[in-house]
């Protein structure tokens, strides 16, 4: 399973590198557009998610897969570093859904970097238990 996660992360990074244009931070609005494209065209067959053609859907999927991978980072005490605690069974489609819902509910954040907004969406959708 660890190898599969490393493979998924490597694939995500490769997709992001291939689809990235000139170096600039992707805004939440740009990522929202890409993720809505993904949602409109994705097909789920069993455990497989079939992406629609085009770089927008691939970019959203790769980005959200990376967000999902990073969301489990924790310090030596087990505290999640990014303030989100998705269950291990959380699917990438749920991460995409959380981002889309959050950005639509917070249009004032559309010009912010997509990564910052994605982690806000994760913290809101998958809060960590209080201690």
Give the per-residue pLDDT at 131. 52
Q: What is the domain count for the chain?
A: 1
131 residues of the chain, pLDDT tens digit each: 444 444 444 444 444 444 444 556 799 999 999 999 999 998 988 888 888 898 999 999 999 999 999 888 888 988 888 889 999 899 999 999 999 999 999 999 999 999 999 999 999 999 998 75
- Left if phi > 0, otherwise alpha if psi is -120 to 50, otherwise beta: which for 83? left
Does 31 reside within a domain?
yes
Residues 15 and 80: their CA atoms lie apart, in Å, by 26
Does 130 reside within a domain?
no
Structure tokens belonging to residue 27: 């805004």
> What's the whole-model pTM score?
0.77
Residues 64 and 59: their CA atoms lie apart, in Å, by 8
CA distances from 10 to 4, 50, 70, 122 (A): 10, 19, 13, 21
Give the per-residue pLDDT at 45. 87
Q: Where are the alpha helices (DSSP H) in 20-113?
A: 28-41, 55-70, 92-105
Q: Which domain holds residue 86?
A: 2-125
Does 83 reside within a domain?
yes
Residues 111 and 28: their CA atoms lie apart, in Å, by 6
Q: Which of 117, 108, 111 lies closest to 63 in space, CA to CA? A: 117
């Amino acid at each position: 399973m660890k190898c599969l996660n490393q493979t998924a992360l490597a694939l995500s990074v490769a997709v992001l590198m291939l689809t990235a244009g000139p170096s600039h931070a992707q805004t939440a609005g740009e990522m929202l557009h890409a993720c809505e494209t993904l949602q409109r065209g994705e097909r789920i067959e069993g455990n497989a998610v079939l992406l629609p053609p085009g770089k927008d859907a691939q970019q959203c999927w790769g980005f959200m897969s990376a967000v999902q991978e990073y969301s489990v980072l924790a310090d030596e005490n087990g505290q999640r570093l990014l303030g989100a605690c998705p269950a291990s069974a959380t699917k990438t489609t749920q991460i995409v859904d959380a981002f889309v819902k959050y950005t639509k509910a917070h249009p004032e954040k559309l010009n912010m970097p997509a990564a910052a907004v994605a982690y806000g969406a994760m913290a809101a959708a998958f809060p960590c238990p209080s201690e």
